[in-house]
Chains A and B, each alone.
Chain A
């Protein structure tokens, strides 16, 4: 004759098995039952039997490996109902009645085995589906600097897929375009303040890197904006050469809530003697005139 406390341990195992039916990826035991699992279980019991079990109660009675005392009957009723019985009395009656026969045990063991096998098969199929489809849905293509052959800075290039005159942004991660690959080919437009614009048709299986032609003067400007005070005289002369006399610099303030404007002299002064404000500037657009001199710069203040 099994003692009530043994039956309670049995019930705890059934609670775990029932929980696994709802959360098949849970493969642990009560010891590894996390606080998130506890929250999940509370929610399941609330939904299933319209009763509430506290987090503290689960920590006190379900989490421990061994229990010295039997919990209150009303709580045993709740757990028994949740695993499919009318209450604790039925649970005890059925388990005492069946303990002398081995068949139900074997059946239970078979059910458990079937559950694990089924779960493993489902999980395996899900992983296979994810791997196969995942690798097919994204095509990655590296973008490089044509002169140095170095990967471009992902922050400096924007890419869009153009289809029926609609532009859809493409993510660039670690210098690689992340392209959706449902189509046989896609027209990609790459834009950057520091490289010449490029339009390219990419085919589904293609993985050759895309090379972007650096724009000399914007590249020089980028270098100047990162410089320290050293070589300021050379910088001054070169700024005179690369900036158009009618240069307009617009600095967009935080959240586009305003803008400051600088002309050639004002912007040059900030580059010749690098300022605190300069270190907070991120160039997002550079336009050049017919002489290739920079005549418009759009900056975001960070």
Chain B
């Protein structure tokens, strides 16, 4: 009961904190550039990135994954995030703690975790991000636990390189993950 209460408070605070991001120029806020229907389409697409994140974690955790492949998986995983030094929910513990992404990868290596996601829910949209709430079922050997996570998803214009051409593109990135 207490845990659910804390989750609800956290969710409300997360929502309340939105709109306070004064560093984003008004012209580049999400709402100034996209319709509600468009934002929903991007939010749906972002859930696939969340799913990719946990699929990559599963591969890095598997003792069957070769070291060479792990290097590739890490590159793909870090590319999902805006900053590889981000903190994420420590899904190896039952207590709600966060951990640096790179440390989590080290912690789960060869521990054979697997993850299943469900019940995605998106918060209202802030200047350049929203929060996606989801349930993650964590399986390790015979043990199964469930956690509710809050994933920040950033959506902002960035400069991308296509060969010798550079273009400004609105891009989705994953951000911090909290319980």
Give the B-binding residues of A (Cβ under 8 A). 229, 232-233, 236, 244-248, 251, 253-255, 257-258, 260-261, 263-264, 266, 269-270, 272-273, 275-277, 280, 301
Q: Tell me whether A272 and B163 are in contact (CB under 8 A).
A: no
Residues from chain B with Cβ under 8 Å of A258 in the complex = 34, 38, 41-42, 45
A255 to B72, CA, bound (A): 32
Q: Taking CB as reference atom, which chain B residue is nearest A263?
A: B162
Residues of A contacting B68 in the complex (Cβ-Cβ under 8 angstroms): 233
Judge whether B167 is part of the interface by a CB distance below 8 angstroms: yes
B69 touches A232 (CB 8 A): yes
Residue from A246, A253, A277 within 8 A of B41 (CB atoms) = A253
Interface residues of B in 48-92 (CB under 8 A from A): 48-49, 51-52, 55-56, 59, 68-69, 72-73, 75-76, 79
Query: Are A273 and B163 in contact (CB-based, < 8 A)?
Result: no
* Complex: A229 Cα to B76 Cα, angstroms: 13
Residues of B within 8 A of A276 (CB): 48, 51-52, 55
Other than the given A246-B162, A248-B162, A275-B55, 6 more pairs (CB < 8 A) read A232-B69, A253-B45, A254-B41, A254-B45, A255-B41, A260-B172
Residues A257 and B37 in contact in the complex (CB < 8 Å), given A273-B59, A277-B52: yes
Instruction: State whether A275 touches B52 (Cβ < 8 A).
Output: yes
Choose from A233, A254, A261 the contact partner of B44 (Cβ within 8 Å): A254
B107 at the interface (CB under 8 A from A): no
- B162 lies within 8 A of A270 (CB): no
Query: Which secondary structure dominates where chain A touches chain B?
Result: mixed
In Å, the complex CA distance between A273 and B56 comes to 8
Measured CA separation A273–B38 after assembly (Å): 28
140-161 of chain B: CB within 8 A of chain A: 160-161
Closest chain-A Cβ to B48's Cβ sits at a distance in Å of 4
Assembly CA distance A266 to B172 (angstroms) = 13
Nearest-neighbour CB distance to chain B for A229, whole angstroms, equals 7
- Whether A277 pairs with B51 at a CB distance below 8 angstroms is yes
Nearest 6 interchain pairs by C-beta: A246-B163, A257-B41, A277-B48, A276-B51, A253-B41, A269-B76
- Within the assembled complex, what's the spacing in Å between the Cα atoms of A302 and B37? 16
Q: Which chain A residues lie closer than 8 Å to B165 at the CB level? A: 246
Decide yes or no whether B164 CB sits under 8 A from chain A.
yes
Enumerate chain B residues within 8 angstroms of A264, measured Cβ to Cβ.
Answer: 162-163
